[in-house]
Amino acid sequence: MAAQQLSMEARTGRNNQLALFDISPSFTIGNAALVLCSHSFPPGYGAQGERLVAGIVPLSADKYYVLLIQSTRRGGWVLPKGGWETDEATAQDAAKREAWEEAGIICRISYDLGVISEQRKPEQLTNKAPKAAYHFFEGVVEKEEAEWPEKHKRNRQWMTYTQAKQALAERPELLDALNRSTMHR
């Protein structure tokens, strides 16, 4: 993402999101073309109907602080995250884009924190916030911009581990990502 021009426009909607096993429709070995996957679930969703989400745990260089953003739906604090789109080669690319769009930060990815299954209670799931599979990365914030695509609808705040743990208490999947990171406790 560093080589690209950063857009001041946030991507919204779910029409351009990657399906879990649909990374490439086919590949070639010798003269034979092989189809990787045949599925009946929509782009951006996995085989179990879960939305594919990429996210980042954005840490300060000393790893004593994490940057959280305000949720647009509930007003609470969350980690930058969002749908993995079809034009993004990797979940890491999607996580870096989400960090830019939602928090106005440029990050260097330091660790792949793995995939976290949905942990929200059924009553917390909605059409706008469906069941998801979260692929999180740890990143070090290299640059924090004054202007970013979602500045008009999100605040951001640096927090200690204890503050972030309390702020993410209602979102176990996000707390799991924080706990997988190498942030100082």
Asked whether residue 111 is assigned to any structural domain, the reply reads yes
| Stated pTM of the model | 0.78
What letter would DSSP give residue 45? Answer: B
For CA atoms 109, 164, 68, 12, the dihedral sign is: positive
With 70 as the cut, is the pLDDT of residue 27 above it? no
87: nearest Cα among 29, 7, 150, 173: 7
Q: What value, to the nearest 5°, has the Cα angle with vertex 151 and ends 162 and 10?
A: 110
Count the domains in the chain: 1
Asked whether residue 35 is assigned to any structural domain, the reply reads no
| pLDDT tens digits, one per residue of 83-141 | 999 899 899 999 999 999 999 999 999 999 999 988 877 887 777 777 889 999 999 99
**CATH number of the domain within which 60 lies:** 3.90.79.10
Based on DSSP, count helices (H) and strands (E) in the chain, helices before strands. Answer: 3, 9
Q: Which two tokens stand for residue 62?
A: 């000393």
